[in-house]
C-alpha cells in the first residue's frame, strides 16, 4: 500500500467515519478547520480511487465515496515507512523517541508498559548457555 499524503489522510479520516459525497467531505474538513475547494476534494478523491484506496457508488448525480483500505492497514504502512526512513528500520528507536520526546501522561506510559510486558511474555526465554561466556581477550 502506498503511504497517504497529509491531504489524502484528511479525506480518509472523514471516509473512515462515514461514506461521504465530495460536498460532505468538504464540509466535514471545513468543520475541522481544513478549507479546501470542492474541485480539490474531487481531485483528491479521484487520486485515492486511482490508488485503490476508495470506491464510490452513484446516488443520483452525486458519488458517495467509501474507503477500501482499513485505517489499521494505512497506519501500519505509514509506520513502516517512518521506520525505514527515519529510524533505520528499528522499532526500538521509534518507541524510544516517542517515550522520550513526546508528552505522555502516566496512564499512557502504563498502557505502553503493559503492551511491552505482554509482548515479552509471548517471547520464549532463551536457553541458558551451558558454558560461561568468554571474557574479553581470552581464548578457549
CB 29: neighbour CB atoms within 10 A? 19
pLDDT at 3: 81
pLDDT at 59: 94
- 31 in Cβ contact with 20 (< 8 Å): no
**What residues are paired with 62 via a beta bridge?**
59
- Per-block mean pLDDT, blocks of 10 residues, the chain (140 long): 88 98 98 96 97 96 96 91 90 91 94 93 70 51
In whole angstroms, what is the distance from residue 25 CA to residue 39 CA? 12
pLDDT at 124: 85
* Domains of the chain with bracketed CATH: 6-67 (1.10.10.10), 90-121 (no CATH)
pLDDT at 140: 44
pTM to 2 decimals?
Answer: 0.71
Amino acid at each position: 500500500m502506498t503511504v497517504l499524503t497529509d491531504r489524502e489522510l484528511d479525506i480518509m479520516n472523514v471516509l473512515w467515519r462515514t461514506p461521504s459525497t465530495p460536498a460532505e467531505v468538504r464540509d466535514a474538513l471545513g468543520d475541522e478547520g481544513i478549507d479546501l475547494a470542492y474541485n480539490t476534494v474531487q481531485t483528491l478523491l479521484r487520486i485515492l480511487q486511482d490508488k485503490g484506496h476508495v470506491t464510490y457508488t452513484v446516488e443520483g448525480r452525486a458519488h458517495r465515496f467509501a474507503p477500501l483500505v482499513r485505517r489499521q492497514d494505512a497506519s501500519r504502512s505509514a509506520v513502516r515507512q517512518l521506520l525505514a526512513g527515519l529510524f533505520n528500520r528499528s522499532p526500538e528507536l521509534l518507541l524510544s523517541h516517542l517515550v522520550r520526546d513526546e508528552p505522555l501522561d502516566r496512564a499512557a506510559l502504563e498502557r505502553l508498559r503493559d503492551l511491552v510486558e505482554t509482548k515479552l511474555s509471548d517471547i520464549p526465554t532463551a536457553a541458558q548457555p551451558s558454558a560461561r561466556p568468554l571474557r574479553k581477550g581470552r581464548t578457549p
